[in-house]
Structure 1
Amino acid sequence: METGMNLRIDKIVFLLAILGLSTTGAAKAADCPPIGSLPNYIGEPKPTLHNHNTSDFKVKRGEETENISVAGKKCFQAYRLKDDAQAMSDIEIQTNYREQVKKLGGQILFADEHNMTGKIVKGAQETWVAVYNEERLIEVTVVDKAAFKPSLLPPSGSDYRLAGRMPKFVADPPVKRNFDKVAFKIHDGDDTREVQVAGARHSVAYRAANPREGASPLEVQENYKATFLAAGGQVVFSEPNLIVMRLEDKGQSIWVSVYAEESLIELTAIEEKPFQSSVQPPTASALKTALDKDGRVSLYINFDFNKAALKPDAAPIIEQVVKLLKDNPALKLEIGGHTDNIGGRDYNVKLSGSRAGSVVSALAAQGIDAKRLNAAGYGPDKPVTTNDTDEGRAKNRRVELVKS
C-alpha cells in the first residue's frame, strides 16, 4: 500500500514540475548559466569558475553507463536548504532540473534518483550539465565545451624571465639564489624518479586574488606547457598537480617545475651551470694519444637542445678531429652519439644517432672521406657515470670517437 501511495505522489510531483509550479528559475548571479536554482535552496554568493577545466559526465549507452570527459569553461555551485525550510524530495529536485534542460532545448543523457546529465546545443556551442542531489543539498556543474586557449601573461616583475603568470594571480616576493640544488621528478619508463639539478634558482609563488576565481590545475599546466614547448622545451614529468619541463635557452639548460592548486601556483626554475670539463677542446695529438691507449675518446660537443644541429662553439673541436684524421690517413673512426637518460629511450637513441651523423657531415664538409667514418647512436645505453646529478648527466651527453 505504501509503495502505491509513493508512486502516486511521485506522479503528482512530476505533473507539478511540468506545469511549472516548482521549476528552476532563470539563472541568477549565484547560479551557473543557463541553469537556475530552486526556491529555499541557497548557493554560495559566487559559483566556482574556471576558464578551462574538465569534468566527467555520466552517459547512458544502451544498457551500459560510461563517463565522458568534457573540457571547457566550467562552473560549479552547491546549494543547501535554508534553515527551517521544507526539503524537496529527490525526484522533485531531479524532475525540476530535467525539465529545465528540456525547455532550454537540451536532452537528458543520464538520469537516476540522485543524478542527471544533460546536453544543450545552441549552434556551435555545446553545454553539458550535471546535477547531483540529496534532499538538503544540490550540486550543479556546467561546462561550456571549448578548446584550450593560452592566457599566460608576459613575464614581468617577480616572474621568472621565460614565463609570466596566470591572470588574476598575485606574486609573492621571489626567492633567487646564484647557486642552489633542487630535486626534479622525471618519468623513467613506467617508473618515476628524482634527479638533482644544480645552478641558478628562481622560485615564486602566486595566489589567486579571489580564491573562487582562480584557475584549475589543468588550465595552469596547459598554459605553462604551451609556453615552454613553444620555446623548444619538452615535458619530462606530469601528474594532475605537477608538471616538470626541460629546455635550453642561449646554451643554458633549464629545468622548470610548476605545482598548481586552484588558488595557488608554485614555480621553480633552475638554470644549470655549464659543465667545466668541456671548455677547453682537446688537441689532435691528445686525441691520438687517447685513441692509441684506450681505443676511444669522449668529446663534449654542444648541440641545439633536442636537436642535432651543432652549435657554433663546436667548431674548435671539429677542427681538431679534422687535423687528427688528416695527420693519420689510415685511421677510421666510429662516431658514437650518447645522451643522458632524461626522456624516452627510443627518442634519445634516435637523437644521438642524428647528432653523430651531424658530426660526420661536419668532418666530411672539411675534406674527410665519409667512408672513413661511421655514425652510431646509443642514446642512454652506455653511461660513463651516474645520471642522478647534473655533473653526471653532462658527462654522459657526449660524442665518442672509437677506432674502427
Structure 2
Amino acid sequence: MKANHLLYCGAAVLCGAILTPAFAAGRDCAPLGSLPSYVADSSGPELRDYQSADFDVQAGDASHTVTVAGRYCKLDYTPKDGTEPLSDLEIQSNYREQLGKLGAQVLFSDDRNTEGKIVRNGQETWFKIYSQETEIDITVVVKQPPKQVLTAPSGNDYRLLGHMPNYTAGTPEKRNFDKLEFDVKNSDEQDTVEVQGARYSVNYSPRDGVQANSDLDIQENYRTALKALGAQLLFTDERNTDARLEHDGQTIWVRIYSQETEIDIGVIEEKAFQATIQTPQASALKTALDKDGHVALYINFDFDKATLRPDAAPVIAQVVALLKDAPTLKLSIEGHTDNVGSHDYNLKLSQDRAASVVAALVKAGIAADRLSSAGHGPDQPIADNKTGEGRARNRRVELVKR
C-alpha cells in the first residue's frame, strides 16, 4: 500500500492536536487522517471533553481490556458515492503505515482492528481503528484527568452542591417529610435503602446551543464535590452516584442520575436521632451491666471516621467514673455499625472506633489491662436497618462486662 492513500494532518496540526485542549469540529480525529475514497459522517465527530473508551491489549496469546479516559473523539466514515469500498486488509494496512510514521505502539491487531497508543512528551493518545469495508470507525482518546468544573451552589441548586456550567436547573421540588430509595453496594451485593426526611429534588438540562457533557464527566464532577464534603460513596456506575454524608450534625443522602441531556439530583436530609436526652450516669451504667452484662452507648464520632467528637467527652467521663468506682471491673469496648456500605469497611470502622474509646479511657487514667476492644461491624443489629432510627440505634459502642 502507498502512504499517499492517507490524508495527513501535517506536522504542525499533529503537534497541536495532541497538545491543544479540544479537537476542532468538522475535522478528522487527530492525529489520524482519512482515506480519500471515504467520507466522514455528516454530523461530524463526536467530541467530549472527558469520556472513556475500552482498548484491547495483546499479551502473549491472550488479550485484556484497558479503559482509558480523557479528551474523546469518535468519527465514522463510509465510501463516497460511486466508489468501491476498500478491503479491510487495505484499510488496516494504510492506517498501520500512517501509525508507523507517527511512532505509534500497536497493542492489538486483527483483520478488522488496529489499537494502540502514541506517547509524545509524556502525553498518551490512544486510538482504535475498526473497519468492515463499507464502514470505518475511528476512536481517539487523549488520556488526561477530568476537570473539576462544578459551580458553587446558587439559585435552584441544592445548598451543598453546584451544577455543571453547561446546564440549567428546573424548579426544585421540596417536601418537609418524604422518602427516597438509594442504592448501596454491600461487598459483592447491591441493596436498596429507603430513607425518610426532608426531600429536595431538582432536574437539570443543557443550555441551548451547548454540548452536553458525557455521563462520565458529570458523575466524576459530582463525586469529587461529594468527596470534598466528606461523603461516603455508597454506589456508583456509569450513570449513578449514591452517597451519604454528615453536615452540621445532620445525615444527608444524595442520589445523582445522569443521561447526558438530563441530570437529576435527589436529596434526603434525615431527621437526627436522639438516643437519650441526658448523658448516661455512671450509676445507671453500673446497674445495666449488673443486670444484662452489657450496655449500649451512643458516642459521637466524626462522620465515617474513628475520631471522637468533643461532645463525646461527657459520656467518656461517666465511663471513667464507672471504672474508678468499681476498681475490679473489666470491660470489653465493642463497636457496631449499621449495614450501609461494605461489610469489611464497616467491620474495620467499628474496630477502630472501639479502640478510640479505649485510648480515651486509658488517657483518662484507666489501666489498659482492664480494657479490651472489638468490632462487630453490622453483624449484631439491635434495630431494623431499613429505617433511619434503626440505623442510628445500630451505630453504637457497647460496654461488655468481662
- TM class by smaller structure: 0.7 to 0.9
Distance 1:211 1:93 in 2: 36
Distance 1:279 1:108 in 2: 68
Distance 1:365 1:135 in 2: 76
Output the amino acid matched with 1:187: K
Distance 1:138 1:351, change over 3 A: same
Output the amino acid matched with 2:30: P
**1:370: how far off?**
4.2
CA radius of gyration, larger in: 1
Output the TM-score relative to the length of structure 1: 0.84
Give unmatched runs, 5+ long, in structure 1: 1-13
1:24 aligns with 2:7: yes
Structure-to-structure mapping, 1:2-401, within 5 angstroms: 14=1, 17-18=2-3, 20=4, 22-24=5-7, 26=9, 29-30=25-26, 31-39=28-36, 41-61=39-59, 64-81=62-79, 84-91=81-88, 92-209=90-207, 213-401=211-399
Which deviates more, 26-35 or 43-52? 26-35
Alignment check: 8 A CA contact 1:81 1:136 kept: yes
Alignment check: 8 A CA contact 1:49 1:212 kept: no
Distance 2:368 2:79 in 1: 81
Alignment check: 8 A CA contact 2:153 2:160 kept: yes
Distance 1:370 1:97, change over 3 A: closer
Alignment check: 8 A CA contact 1:198 1:272 kept: yes
Which deviates more, 300-309 or 338-347? 338-347
Alignment check: 8 A CA contact 2:40 2:75 kept: no
Query: Which residue of 2 is the match for residue 8 of structure 1?
Result: none
Output the amino acid matched with 2:400: V
Alignment check: 8 A CA contact 1:151 1:223 kept: yes
Alignment check: 8 A CA contact 1:171 1:204 kept: yes
Output the amino acid matched with 1:403: K
**1:393: how far off?**
0.9
CA offsets 1:332-364 (integer angstroms, 9 cap, x no match): 332221111223333323322222233233334
**1:397: how far off?**
0.5
SS of 2:164's equivalent? Answer: coil
CA offsets 1:111-170 (integer angstroms, 9 cap, x no match): 444333253333222222222233443321111122344333322222223322223222
SS of 1:276's equivalent? Answer: coil
Q: CA RMSD in A?
A: 2.8
Output the amino acid matched with 2:132: E
Once the two structures are aligned, what percentage of the paired residues are identical?
Answer: 51
**Paired residue total:** 386
Distance 1:33 1:245 in 2: 38
Alignment check: 8 A CA contact 1:200 1:272 kept: yes
Output the amino acid matched with 1:150: Q
Query: Which residue of 2 is the match for residue 11 of structure 1?
Result: none
CA offsets 1:18-68 (integer angstroms, 9 cap, x no match): 3x2x43353873232223344552424342222222212234455554433
SS of 1:301's equivalent? Answer: coil
Alignment check: 8 A CA contact 1:170 1:209 kept: yes
Distance 1:87 1:267, change over 3 A: farther
Distance 2:137 2:176 in 1: 49
Distance 1:137 1:256, change over 3 A: same
SS of 2:279's equivalent? Answer: coil
Distance 1:68 1:321 in 2: 54
SS of 1:170's equivalent? Answer: strand
**1:211: how far off?**
8.8
Output the amino acid matched with 2:231: G
**1:275: how far off?**
0.6
SS of 1:379's equivalent? Answer: coil
Give unmatched runs, 5+ long, in structure 2: 14-23
Distance 1:104 1:372, change over 3 A: closer
